[in-house]
Amino acid sequence: MRIEIGPVTRIEGHLNVLTTIEDNTIVEAKCVGEMFRGFEMILKGRDPLDAQQITQRICGVCPYAHAIASSYAQEQAYGLQPPANGRILHNLIQGANHLYDYLLHFYQLAALDFVDITAVLKYQGKDASLVKVREWVKAELASGKKYPAAPFLPRQDGRYLEDTEANISAIKNYLEAMEMQIIGNQAAAIFGGKFPHATAIFPGGCTQEARIDLIAAYRSKIKKVRNFIHEKYLGDILAVAGAFPDYWQIGVSPGNMLSYGMLPLGPAPDSDRLMAGGVLMGNQMTPVDFDAITQDVGHSKYSSASGQSVRHSAITPAPHKKAGYSWIKAPRYHDQVMEVGPAARVLVDYHQSHNPQIRQLVDHFAGQAGIKPAQLNSVLGRHLSRGICAVVIADFLLAETERLEPGAPTMAELNIPAEAEGFGATEASRGALLHYLRLEDHKIATYECVVPTTWNSSPQDDQGRPGAMESALVGTKVADPQQQIEANRIIRSFDPCMACSVH
Amino acid sequence: MQRRMFLKMAATLVGAFGVTGLPLPVQAALKRLDPRTIPKLIYLQGLSCSGCSISLLQSTSTSPLEMITDYSQLVFHTDLSATSGQQAMALIDDYINGNAGDYFLALEGSIPAAMPEACIIGHRPIADIIAQAAKTMSGAVAVGTCACDGGIPAAEGNPTGAVGLAEFLATKKINKPLIQIPGCSVHPDWLWQTIVHLVRVGMPELVNGAPKLFFQRTVHEQCPRYHDFQQEIYAKKLGDKGCLFKLGCLGPVARGDCPTRGWNGGQTWCIDCNAPCIACTSPSFARQKSQPFYRLTELNSQESSR
């Protein structure tokens, strides 16, 4: 039985998933990226300094990661090193963006698959915001409308959290998270200029000053977000995990993990990073080699050559291609399917015993949940990994503000060569993000982005091997094959961004 | 616009974004409206990055709580709706086929006019969905530069033939009320306060289809560094203070009130961070490969020839 579960909502953009169901089990899944804009074609021939602006428009959810990756790539191409303050401001902007994104993902995007919003009707307390929501839901349900309480109803059938207290607490935190994500973004915008789409990020640093009043305002906002992470977010992840323990075994990808690491600890291009990059295959760790990345298009809607390296990428869209079922390409690392994202970020660092705080948090929470660290490769594992990243990043950002030298330069002077090339790699909230550019005669000759959801929501490669998310769906039992809330939970655990994946 | 049409539109938008914060007489008037008859808002995305949706969530002029509890008329938004899949598609179809009552369409993102397969929702090209909606909707709001003028998906070299909503509706010879709110991304206040204006004094006066209240004057005219411009105090390199014109600042061609409104709670905006304006509200935003955002190369060559 073939059933489509798209359009999938509460993700970024346009995703369909074609499933084949036998005996209430998913035996095949195909992820279909349904939106294409052609960014690499738009970038070709442009001034290179347009790139950190234009690539932000690939994704309005994680634009700062694109600005940072583009800046790194240009810095390598120009032989440019930002002043210490400049790199720190890059970090403050990018890190705050991660915090907002984790909260938005867990509460606004993923939680409605687990939390029973109708539990608010049973609320007996006096909290003004919950009373307001309760009265609103009541009035909506009594209104006789065709679709009352939209956009929260209708919803998919399935088992939701049964504990009223836990539901009400999560709903309260859903509302508070809406405010926290604003505060996180306000912190980033202090130095970025605005969110979404920062104008102050450049290769070589940031145009905003390291002024003491700005630093104080930034710290105050990050502290608020950090408190929410510790007091509410981690607890809600564990509450969901406690009520849905099966999901430590559901949504498991083939298990190869790729992370580029993020938040460099100094201005030099080879600086150590807060979280280390690497490639984890089985128990084998290797450093990242960008030349090992190729992208197949046998099942993608392009007529250009399959298996191209990042350096030699070029696309020719072929919307009517019969074998192509997705606009997403199929990236592979040494020909292997990779998962990227929070679980990869945490596991790659953990396996190198690199950041002691990550080691301690993984051991602590794995012990508490009774899982092995490898089980971070699961629906709950991805949620928990985001929580771990949030804790580590929030602490780092506060420490990083102390390292700013008020009044010292934040921007290096730019001298752009006519011919050059560069790679820029960092972690977007959704995972490993790589930008590559090559200049000819002062213009962009090639620009290529290999983006987190390109890896995770990859279609089959030319050998017919499914991508990470497609694999993670296979074998899942679904109570209702038409709706498949179980599959929806798996998909959202990857936090797919379709605008990023195709661009 | 007829008064009846205006009231419908106002009610839709207010329903979507909340009543609190409006003047008391307006709130009182809205409370008299029968919730069963208030038209609904369907928010769809074409060739978009979701940046405008995310920006709308950054609104501080109405709190997120108000946005949730007073959001009852937002029948569909892909980022917030609990519903998904065929259930979601059935809801959208119900409205655009005219079977679920009056509604307004909000569109974020542009429409791939030359390659319909480049944006599909539930097997249907967004172009077909909008063409169908255009027959039944009471009116539309184009949210952001992509929906207004095509934006970056319509930049030179694009393969999809992306166009904005106004151009799309014009080629289909559809004449329905349309408000265009540009910006890459849109500023949450520009949408929200447009609704306030609609409710208090009616359809806002438009400049090139956008509310005059926000888009009458250029960034340059209102810039706090206008004095630097007059005194010819120019930034020479990125990170300098002073007028950013010689670095390529496009404030003179960008309409919008960023200098007085600020972003993200009003605390900051591009030029305040010494970042040249890139004219993200302009119909020609990022359009030509030969017109870069910055003019650093030009400035360097002038310096070296002195």
Domain boundaries in chain A? 35-115+161-475+488-502, 117-159
Per-residue pLDDT at A144: 84
Contact A35 B67 (CB under 8 A): no
Tell me if A340 sits within 8 A of A430, measured CB to CB.
Answer: yes
pLDDT bin (cut points 50, 70, 90) of residue B3 is very low
Tell me if A35 sits within 8 A of B118, measured CB to CB.
Answer: yes
Per-residue pLDDT at A270: 92
Say whether B270 is catalytic. yes
Per-residue pLDDT at B39: 54
State the catalytic residue, choosing from B146, B148, B187, B197: B146
pLDDT bin (cut points 50, 70, 90) of residue B21 is very low
Per-residue pLDDT at B67: 58
Q: Are residues B225 and B203 in the same domain?
A: no
Tell me if B111 sits within 8 A of B150, measured CB to CB.
Answer: no
Per-residue pLDDT at B194: 76
Contact A58 B49 (CB under 8 A): yes
CA distance A403 to chain B (A): 20
Q: Are residues B58 and B180 in the same domain?
A: yes
- Average pLDDT of chain B is 85
Q: Are residues B195 and B91 in the same domain?
A: yes
Tell me if A429 sits within 8 A of A97, measured CB to CB.
Answer: yes
Is the pLDDT score of B15 beyond 80?
no
Q: Is the peptide bond preceding residue A287 cis, with omega within 30 degrees of 0? A: no
- Tell the CATH superfamily of the A35-115+161-475+488-502 domain: Cytochrome-c3 Hydrogenase, chain B (1.10.645.10)
DSSP string spanning A426-452?
EEETTEEEEEEEEEETTEEEEEEEE-H
Among B42, B49, B95, most A C-beta atoms within 10 A, so best to mutate, is: B49
pLDDT tens by residue, chain A, 503 residues: 999 999 999 999 999 999 999 999 999 999 999 999 999 999 999 999 999 999 999 999 999 999 999 999 999 999 999 999 999 999 999 999 999 999 999 999 999 999 999 999 999 999 988 998 898 889 889 988 888 888 899 999 999 999 999 999 999 999 999 999 999 999 999 999 999 999 999 999 999 999 999 999 999 999 999 999 999 999 999 999 999 999 999 999 999 999 999 999 999 999 999 999 999 999 999 999 999 999 999 999 999 999 999 999 999 999 999 999 999 999 999 999 999 999 999 999 999 999 999 999 999 999 999 999 999 999 999 999 999 999 999 999 999 999 999 999 999 999 999 999 999 999 999 999 999 999 999 999 999 999 999 999 999 999 999 999 999 999 999 999 999 999 999 999 999 999 999 99
Give contacts of B12 with chain A, Cβ < 8 Å.
none
Among A137, A176, A194, A491, most B C-beta atoms within 10 A, so best to mutate, is: A194
Q: A211 by DSSP, 3-state: which?
A: coil
Which of these ranges, A232-241, B9-18, B176-185, has the smallest mean pLDDT? B9-18
pLDDT bin (cut points 50, 70, 90) of residue B34 is very low
pLDDT tens track for B77-135 = 999 899 999 999 999 999 999 999 888 899 999 999 999 999 999 889 999 999 999 99
pLDDT bin (cut points 50, 70, 90) of residue B305 is very low
Question: Please, which residues bridge with residue A432 across strands?
Answer: A427
pLDDT bin (cut points 50, 70, 90) of residue B301 is low
**Side chain identity at residue B73, one-letter code:** Q
Task: Give the contacts of A311 (CB within 8 A, at least 6 positions apart).
Answer: A291, A421, A436, A438, A446, A448
Per-residue pLDDT at B47: 98
Give the total number of structural domains in chain B. Answer: 2
Residue identified by tokens 């990050």 is: A222
Which of the listed residues B213, B238, B264 is the one where a domain comes to its end?
Answer: B213
Candidates B107, B104, B93; CA nearest to B163 is B107
CA distance A313 to chain B (A): 16
Q: Are residues B49 and B127 in the same domain?
A: yes
H-only helix segments in chain B: 3-17, 24-31, 51-56, 64-69, 85-96, 126-136, 145-149, 165-171, 188-201, 212-215, 219-222, 226-230, 258-261, 296-305
Percent of chain B with pLDDT over 90: 66
Tell me if B203 sits within 8 A of B212, measured CB to CB.
Answer: no
Q: Is the peptide bond preceding residue A154 cis, with omega within 30 degrees of 0? A: yes
Q: Are residues B240 and B181 in the same domain?
A: no
- What CATH number did the domain enclosing B238 receive? 4.10.480.10
Per-residue pLDDT at B6: 46
Per-residue pLDDT at B300: 58
Question: Which 8-state DSSP code applies to residue A61?
Answer: S
Question: How big is chain A, counted in residues?
Answer: 503
pLDDT tens track for B254-278 = 999 999 999 999 999 999 999 999 9
Q: How far apart are CA A73 and CA B249, in angstroms?
A: 24
Element (H, E) at A80: none
Which of the listed residues B159, B185, B213 is the one where a domain comes to its end?
Answer: B213
Q: Give the range of the structural domain holding residue B255, as residue numbers without chain letter.
A: 217-305
DSSP string spanning B95-153?
HHTT-S--EEEEEESBEETT-GGGBEETTEEHHHHHHHHHHH-SEEEEESHHHHH-TGG
Task: Give the contacts of A343 (CB within 8 A, at least 6 positions apart).
Answer: A257, A376, A377, A381, A382, A385
Give contacts of B219 with chain A, Cβ < 8 Å.
none
- What average pLDDT does this structure show over B30-47? 66
Candidates A26, A71, A94; CA nearest to A475 is A26
- What CATH number did the domain enclosing B100 receive? 3.40.50.700
Per-residue pLDDT at B302: 55
pLDDT tens track for A243-294 = 999 999 999 999 999 999 999 999 999 999 999 999 999 999 999 999 999 9
Contact B50 A112 (CB under 8 A): no
Q: How far apart are CA B8 and CA B30, in angstroms?
A: 11
Per-residue pLDDT at B66: 66
Per-residue pLDDT at B31: 45
Tell me if B273 sits within 8 A of B234, measured CB to CB.
Answer: no
Query: How many Cα atoms within 13 Å fall on the side-chain side of residue B41?
Result: 29
pLDDT tens track for A40-95 = 999 999 999 999 999 999 999 999 999 999 999 999 999 999 999 999 999 999 99
Which of the listed residues B213, B228, B261 is the one where a domain comes to its end?
Answer: B213
pTM summary value:
0.94
Say whether B119 is catalytic. no
Among A74, A115, A147, most B C-beta atoms within 10 A, so best to mutate, is: A147
Q: Which of B68, B83, B118 sits opposite A175 (nearest CB)?
A: B68
Per-residue pLDDT at B12: 54
